[in-house]
Amino acid sequence: MGLSVLLISLLLLLVLGVPVAIALLAASLLTFLLLDIDLVVGVQRLASGINVFSLMAIPFFVFAGDLMYRAGIAERLVRVADAALGRTRGGLGQVNVGASMMFGAVSGSAVASVSALGSALMPMMVAKGYHRDYAVNVTCTAAILGLIIPPSHNMIIYAASAGVGVSIADLFLAGVVPGLLAGAMLAVTAWLVARRRNYPRGEFPGWYAFLRALLAAIPGLVSALIIVVGIVGGVFTPTESAAVAVAYTVLIAVFGYRSLGFGGFALAVRGAVRTTAMVMLIIGSAAVFGWALAVLEGPAQLAELVSQATDSPVLVLLIVLIILLVLGTFMDMAPLIIITTPIFLPLMMSFGMDPVHFGVVLMLALGIGLVTPPVGSVLFVGSAIGKIRIEEAVRSIWPFYLALIAALLLIAYLPAISLTLPGLL
């Protein structure tokens, strides 16, 4: 009875358009009243949910990503990708994917990536004869690569939610090869679509221009190396590495590129504070919801239900992937990570799945939801920047969906893609 009230009330509130954080909290408190649990427990769980040291890295990561966006680092990465990839048929599609992979490595945010690169690349693509729907589709689907290419603050949320001592360093390393694989599959898809639509071929500007663009972009890329190498090498904790990345980004933006003034810095501070407040409220509310779910033995009931349906690990993983893809279509990523991790991680570990491997699969599956209506936040932002309706973008985005789902299945069913690099290092 209690579990039904918890889940049905949450679903109804979301359908009514209540913000996710409020819906999670309201559904949890309603269940507490039904079960005669003191509401003070909800306050305690909310506070303990955000009182996690590793979560302090999130505001620093968000701040660093916003600083990079306002310092024009995205435009420098676009120039590198254009010089390297722009000469192929429909080369700006590959440029878009390549730039998204590089910017994802320094920002870790899909929305930041589509905002920064979309503003720079979409007008350029339209001016050179590319259709708006193609520009939006490539930009939005490539933007989610930053969720698995390290560093990713969503991986920190997953590690905090897992409760089994998942190493953030291992998660970061595990995302490298899957990110490259998904990026390669998107680049091939972009090329095939561009070839079918007969988009123009770019020109190679010469090695001098390429090296000049690369040298200009290297200081921005170094921030990602500081974070990943610092964590993997044991020099920094994730929180310390994120703080160092902020300091480094300010230095290169102010004194190196000289592209960040006080106004831009103030906007980045405000943006980081607003984003952090929203994320932390969602994390705290999801922690209350997760505790109620655990008290009502929701994960155990799900595991029993799945085990009754099948004992095949292949089918169980497929069922979990379908559930994650469906959930990702109407909920944001941060609360879904916190809600689904304690539900599905124990289930998949009981079938022998490594928690680091599951973390990468979870990131990509939920990331696909960010470009899927009705609540695909990345698709909404990309369509707004590209000045087309959501319906126009969705009508032709299916080849890119297929590429991402194919990458998801490969990563999910071939653990070596994710686990080889952490095992070596």
- 3-state secondary structure (DSSP) of residue 201: strand
Contact 240, 164 (CB under 8 A): no
- Domain count for the chain: 1
pLDDT at 392 over 70: yes
Mean pLDDT, residues 322-326 taken together: 87
pLDDT at 136 over 70: yes
Q: What confidence tier does 13 reach under pLDDT thresholds 50, 70, 90? A: confident
In the chain, % helix, strand, coil (3-state, to 5) comes to 80, 0, 20
pLDDT at 364: 93
Rounded to the nearest integer, the mean pLDDT of the chain is 81
**Higher pLDDT among residues 365 and 42, named by residue:** 365
Using CA atoms, how far residue 292 sits from 37, 289, 347, in Å, is 10, 5, 18
Mean pLDDT, residues 307-317 taken together: 82
**Which tokens is 255 given?**
């004194």
Quick check: pTM over 0.95? no
**Which tokens is 221 given?**
């890329």
Structural domain of residue 360, as residue ranges? Answer: 2-424
The closest alpha carbon to 316, from 276, 361, 254, belongs to: 361
Mean pLDDT, residues 346-375 taken together: 88
Rounded Cα–Cα distance for residues 399 and 401 (Å): 5
According to DSSP, the residues that pair with 201 across neighbouring strands are 89
Residue-wise pLDDT for 355-368, tens only, equals: 999 999 999 999 89
Rounded Cα–Cα distance for residues 152 and 242 (Å): 11
Residue with tokens 């809600």, as numbered in its chain: 339
Rounded Cα–Cα distance for residues 176 and 161 (Å): 21
Mean pLDDT, residues 386-401 taken together: 85
Number of H helices, E strands in the chain: 22, 0
Residue-wise pLDDT for 205-216, tens only, equals: 667 777 877 787
pLDDT at 415: 94
- 3-state secondary structure (DSSP) of residue 89: strand
The closest alpha carbon to 411, from 149, 98, 164, belongs to: 149
Burial class (CB in 10 A: 0-12, 13-18, 19+), 375: middle
Residue-wise pLDDT for 62-120, tens only, equals: 787 777 777 777 677 767 766 766 567 667 777 778 777 777 766 667 777 777 677 77
pLDDT at 279: 75
Q: What confidence tier does 54 reach under pLDDT thresholds 50, 70, 90? A: low
**Which tokens is 197 given?**
């639509």
Q: What confidence tier does 410 reach under pLDDT thresholds 50, 70, 90? A: very high
140: Cβ contacts below 8 Å, ≥ 6 apart: 114, 371, 376, 378, 379, 381, 382, 383, 393, 397
Phi, psi of 201 (to 5 degrees): -95, 135
350: Cβ contacts below 8 Å, ≥ 6 apart: 303
Rounded Cα–Cα distance for residues 2 and 292 (Å): 9
